Amino acid sequence: MIDRRHALAGMAALFSAPLFAPIARAAGLAGAAPRPVVSEGPPSVQVFTPAQRRLMTQLSERVLPTTDTPGAIAAGVPGYIEKLLADWALPAERIPILAGLDGIEARCRQDYGISATQASPDQQDGLLTAAMNAQFGGGAAFFEAFRQLVITGYYTSEIGMTQEQEYLPVPGEYHGDYLYSKVSKVYTA
């Protein structure tokens, strides 16, 4: 059985920036006593408007697109993001995400004259790059938090742990002479 909280705690070391507070809180790393994990059911509050939800979904797939393995949408990342923001984020901690989505929408309308959900994948990549490079207000704060949400959502999902990585709940026997050139995936436990 894959334990998402354990996987979240392991993910914390991957980010060079400070961990987005709701992720740290959900992993039990925030210093405060963690709340009980509620992984089933819908989010406790509605975080996104329908337009923001569509945009967040499309942008999550731009961060981790489908290649030879399933992407963010197939791994359930958009639902994870909304659940985490609804149940683990303080209202003020949602602001960078919501403001960033609104900033991307405004920038897309300014640059391309269309809604960001109608933008091409290349245009959406450009919008994410503009956010990453702080080319509009709140863009950098949005990008770092959003990137962390997408990556933790993906790599703590069943798809991320079993199809992108090799999941070995109980490692097999030790082979000290195993050639590194034969390793094809990163192993997690």
Per-residue pLDDT tens digits of the chain, which is 189 residues long: 444 444 544 555 555 556 666 676 776 665 544 454 445 667 888 999 999 999 999 999 999 999 888 999 999 999 999 999 998 888 999 999 999 999 999 999 999 999 999 999 999 999 999 999 999 888 999 999 999 999 988 888 888 777 666 655 555 666 667 676 776 666 555
Show the tokens assigned to 134.
């702080």
Q: Are 23 and 3 in contact (CB under 8 A)?
A: no
Distance, in Å, from the CA atom of 154 to the CA atom of 101, rounded to the nearest integer, reads 20
| CB neighbour burial string for 126-142, b if at least 16 within 10 angstroms, e if fewer | bbbebbeeeebebbbbb
Are 127 and 173 in contact, with CB atoms under 8 Å apart?
Answer: no
Residue 53: name the closest of 7, 105, 91 by CA.
Answer: 105
Using CA atoms, how far apart are residues 123 and 100, in angstroms rounded to an integer?
A: 16
Sequence-ordered list of residues with C-beta below 8 angstroms from that of 61, at least 6 positions apart, any chain: 71, 72, 73
Residue 188 pairs in a beta bridge with: 167
SS3 91: helix
**Other residues' Cβ atoms within 10 Å of the Cβ of residue 89:** 22
DSSP letter for 45, please: S
Furthest C-alpha separation in the chain: 59
**pTM for this structure?**
0.74
Q: Give strand pairing partners of 187.
A: 166
